[in-house]
Amino acid sequence: MKAKSLAATGFLLAVLAEACSVGILGLSGWFVAASAVAGASAYSAFSYLAPSGGVRAFALGRISAGYANRVVLHAAALRRISATRLAVYDHAAGSEDTSWSGQSLDRVMADADTTGLALIQATTPVVVAAVMTAGGCVAIVLAGYPIVALTLAVAVVACAMLAAAAARRMDDTSRTRGLLRTELVTAIEAWPEMASLGAVDQLARRTLGRLTAFESGRNRHAATTARAVGGARGVTATALLLAVVLTARDGATIATLVFVALLTAGVLANAERLVSAAGAWVQARQADAHLRSAGENESRRPEIASTFRATYDGDRLAVAGYQLPETPTREAREIAFTVAAGNALTVTGVSGSGKTTLLTAITTVIRQQTGSAVITAVLADDYLFTGTVADNIRLANPAATEADITDLLAAMALEHIDPQTPVGVGGRGLSGGEQRRLHLARALASQPDVLLIDEPTAGLDTSTAADVLAAVRRRLPRAVLVLAIHETPADPNLHFGVGARLAANRHWLALDR
């Protein structure tokens, strides 16, 4: 109720601010014209005190109402955004079957922002345009020009119809962009395999086709919006010209003619804003639909066989009864292994062999058990949240100091990055290798007892990969490490550097044979 009261107050202030703006325009125009006519007439008596005071009053009203309007409407929008986010997070927290990714939660925040800002970008312009049109028409009728008022009303309705027609043609660009991003990432990851199959040309044509379709959609949207804006400006220009002609035909004085023309121009300026308001309204509707269906398209947790067991007792990680399905390169079989504290298991296999599924299953089962052990997984699709490098690390350890974060970054060969560096949406402000090392730094911040890493060397050269993973072991000397990589490296000491103890405490599990 408080949020609705804030919104209603904001609408009133927005209308008041716009009324003051139009009042300044009309009254100052009339004042200037009347002063000029009075000055050209001999022995004319004209008092400038009242109209000049009115102009000043309108100016002060516009400044104060405009400032208050922005403060109140932004507060109302922030309340709406916060309430929307919390509602979705409550739904996510109560969902037992859906595995929410960081990317999904970041999209939720963006959609919540869109729905909240619709209060400012869509609803307020519509309310202001409607009230100002009604008020302007009443003022022009009281001035004795009803035909001009009718012309003004018809012009505003025509602008609203153009805005609605353009809005109906808007596509869901946010989801289209997301699908294209996924397509490009998939194409990049699949390129080596497609090259080995001689299918690079087909992959390139497919990707180029998706890019072309996306650009065509953007161009259509831009052209539709441009036509709607151009049409609205044409309508307002025609209506303004008709208002001037009709007012002059009825024998209005020059001062009255200027007043009616400027008042009409001020009202029509609000009508032109309906095109952008309609676009914001459609985007808000799309974002609201995304929020209502949030989590429905998320990947489900893998079905785990009833015989599967994964436990960690502080001394060892034990896995038994994991059913590995049959593939063209291997027969179905059951997997069981034990990894003692301070040891590492490297799981190898080609794409699709089940490495990520195995790591996810182990993490899911162990986290469901009671105990004080800390289990951390760094998966291939792990996500960096919008914010700074330090913000992402503190997600794992809120108590981490600046010195702790700097030390973690240095261990991951990221000493060149300031902890307050923004990572961008989804980590786009960092390179692929820097993102991967920040994932590892965030995992180390929680000091896990069991650390599972999917593709730990992705985006890293051989030397950096060896240094980084050696640092992982140095910082977690007693932790159980489970690493998933595509294939056994040519250098047996790649993963933890040179060291007899580390080499002796490493074991291998191949899933693709």
Confidence of residue 468 (pLDDT cuts 50, 70, 90): confident
CA-to-CA dists, residue 286 to 281, 421, 460, 465, 501, angstroms: 9, 32, 39, 42, 57
Structural domain spans, the chain: 2-292, 309-510
504 — pLDDT class (breaks 50, 70, 90): very low
Tell me which residue has tokens 């014209």.
33
End-to-end Cα distance, the chain: 63
Whether pLDDT at 294 is above 80: no
Assess contact for 410 and 441: CB atoms under 8 A.
no
What's the order of all strands across the beta sheet hosting 480-485? 375-378, 450-454, 480-485, 344-348, 506-510
Which is the CATH superfamily of the domain at 309-510? P-loop containing nucleotide triphosphate hydrolases (3.40.50.300)
* DSSP helix, strand, coil percent of the chain (3-state; round to 5): 65, 10, 25
Q: Strand, coil or helix: what is 319?
A: strand
3-state SS, residue 452: strand
CATH of domain 2-292: 1.20.1560.10
Which position has the higher pLDDT, 364 or 65?
65
Q: Which residues contact 149 (CB under 8 A, 6 or more apart)?
A: 136, 137, 138, 140, 141
Site of tokens 């291939």 = 380
Average the pLDDT over each of 107-111, 135-139, 142-146 and give the range with the smallest value.
107-111
Confidence band, pLDDT 50/70/90 cuts, at residue 149:
very high
DSSP 393-448: HHTT-TT--HHHHHHHHHHTT-TTS-TT-B--GGGTTS-HHHHHHHHHHHHHHT--
pTM for this model (two decimals): 0.57
User: Looking at residue 498, what is its pLDDT?
Assistant: 33
Q: Angle 2-40/49-93 helices, nearest 10 degrees?
A: 160
E-strand ranges in 49-137 read: none
Q: How many C-beta atoms lie closer than 10 Å to residue 446's C-beta?
A: 16
Among 360, 363, 375, 395, smallest CA distance to 448 is for 375
pLDDT over 60 at 499, yes or no: no
Mean pLDDT, to the nearest integer, of 86-103? 66
Average pLDDT score over residue span 52-68: 89
pLDDT for 349 equals 78
**Other Cβ atoms closer than 10 A to 18:** 26
Beta partners for residue 337, in sequence order: 319
Strands 316-324 and 333-340: antiparallel
Provide the angle, in degrees to the nearest 10, between the axes of the packed helices 462-475 and 402-411: 130
* CA 156-159-161 angle, 5° bins: 110
Q: What is the pLDDT of residues 182-208, one digit of tens each?
A: 667 666 766 665 666 666 777 778 778
What local confidence, expressed as pLDDT, does residue 371 receive?
Answer: 73
Q: Is residue 324 within 8 Å of 332, Cβ to Cβ?
A: yes
Q: Are 456 and 431 in contact (CB under 8 A)?
A: no
- Gap between the Cα atoms of 102 and 451, Å rounded: 19
Alpha helices, H only, 273-305: 274-292
Q: Which residue's entry shows tokens 């007439």?
A: 41
Q: What is the mean pLDDT of the chain?
A: 81
Minimal CA–CA distance to 277: which of 117, 155, 133, 135? Answer: 117
Identify whether the C-beta of residue 250 lies closer than 8 Å to the C-beta of residue 148.
no
- The predicted-structure confidence for 2-45, as pLDDT tens digits, reads as follows 778 888 898 899 999 999 988 888 888 888 888 777 665 655 56
Q: Which two tokens stand for residue 504?
A: 């002796």
